[in-house]
């Protein structure tokens, strides 16, 4: 039964067109009976602008917008890298740090160039992921996952995406791109936020 009274299996919209992210959440919710829909099921729905100053502002904006439009419980996320020496940059501009359009390699090159030969102790960084769960325009819960570490001196590893080849998580000597997806998922910003989101989603459908 949906919250609006219509008979339907518990369903959740993930505020993204990224199929990889949809499958990831679907795997996490496997066996719970919750169906995960992506924005591909709502092709007429235009995308809101991601122009917030913080990850949380962007996640809330997308969740508000898509939950209003689709009338389903909606989870939306925003994530990126924050580097201490750069006063939090690239932050919400992580995807387009080297300009628009740019590749992951362009972004990594720019980041390594800006840090130059700065010693390890001053290369601290963290990945942040904020997930906002909204129901018809109203907040249900906002979840945050962080993973601290430092920026390497060169790109290393072939797994993952984005800044993975230049990010060494705390307690490791290898980059995210070297340690592989299973180990990354246990400690990553996204893995942490997703596990919190799962709890919030299951609690929502219990009520
Ligand atoms: P999104 O909000 O998940 O689309 O992430 C925005 C940008 O942040 C991506 O394009 C990447 O540059 C960066 N990013 C976010 N999460 C990760 C990660 O786990 N590894 C590497 N880069 C990431």
Class of domain 11-206: alpha beta
Q: Are 92 and 78 in contact (CB under 8 A)?
A: yes
What pLDDT is attached to residue 1?
Answer: 43
What pLDDT is attached to residue 5?
Answer: 42
Active-site positions read: 78
Decide: 162 in ligand 1 pocket, CB within 6 A: yes
Atom of ligand 1 nearest to the CA of 176: 20
Give Cα separations from 144 to 28, 84, 131, 196 (angstroms): 17, 19, 6, 8
Q: Measured in angstroms, how far is the CA atom of residue 94 from the centroid of ligand 1? A: 7
Taking the model in full, what pTM does it have? 0.95
DSSP string, 20-38: HHHHHHHHHTTTTT-EEEE
Q: C-alpha dihedral over 9, 15, 17, 19, to 10 degrees?
A: -60
Atom of ligand 1 nearest to the CA of 97: 12
> Does residue 145 register a pLDDT over 70?
yes
Q: Measured in angstroms, how far is the CA atom of residue 91 from the centroid of ligand 1? A: 10
pLDDT tens digits, residue range 102-144?
999 999 999 999 999 999 999 999 999 999 999 999 999 999 9
Question: Long-range contacts made by residues 30-33, C-beta under 8 angstroms, separation at least 24?
Answer: 32/198, 32/201, 32/202, 33/9
What pLDDT is attached to residue 65?
Answer: 96
Q: Which residues, in sequence order, are CB contacts of 13 under 8 Å at separation 6+? A: 37, 38, 39, 41, 42, 66, 67, 70, 72, 73, 74, 75
pLDDT tens digits, residue range 30-56?
999 999 999 989 999 988 999 999 999
Atom of ligand 1 nearest to the CA of 184: 19
Q: Measured in angstroms, how far is the CA atom of residue 95 from the centroid of ligand 1? A: 7
Selected residue with higher pLDDT from 80 and 6: 80
Q: What is the mean pLDDT of residues 164-175?
A: 98
Scored b (16 or more CB within 10 A) or e, 32-42 reads: eebebbbbeee
- Three-state DSSP at 159 gives coil
């Amino acid at each position: 039964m949906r919250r609006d009274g219509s008979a339907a299996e518990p369903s959740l919209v993930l505020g993204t067109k990224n199929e990889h992210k949809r499958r990831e959440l679907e795997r996490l919710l496997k066996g719970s009976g919750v169906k995960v829909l992506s924005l591909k099921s709502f092709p007429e729905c235009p995308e809101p602008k991601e122009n917030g100053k913080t990850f949380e502002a962007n996640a809330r904006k997308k969740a508000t917008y898509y939950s209003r439009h689709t009338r389903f419980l909606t989870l939306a996320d925003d994530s990126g890298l924050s580097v201490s020496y750069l006063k939090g940059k690239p932050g919400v501009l992580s995807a387009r740090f080297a300009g628009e359009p740019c590749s992951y390699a362009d972004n990594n090159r720019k980041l390594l160039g800006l840090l130059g030969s700065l010693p390890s102790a001053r290369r601290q960084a963290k990945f942040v992921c904020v997930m906002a769960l909204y129901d018809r325009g109203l907040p249900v819960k906002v979840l945050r996952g962080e993973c601290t570490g430092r920026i390497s001196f060169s790109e290393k590893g072939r797994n993952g995406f984005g800044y993975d080849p230049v990010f060494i998580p705390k307690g490791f000597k290898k980059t995210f791109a070297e340690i592989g997806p299973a180990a990354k998922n246990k400690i990553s910003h996204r893995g942490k936020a997703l596990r919190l989101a799962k709890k919030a989603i299951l609690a929502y459908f219990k009520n």
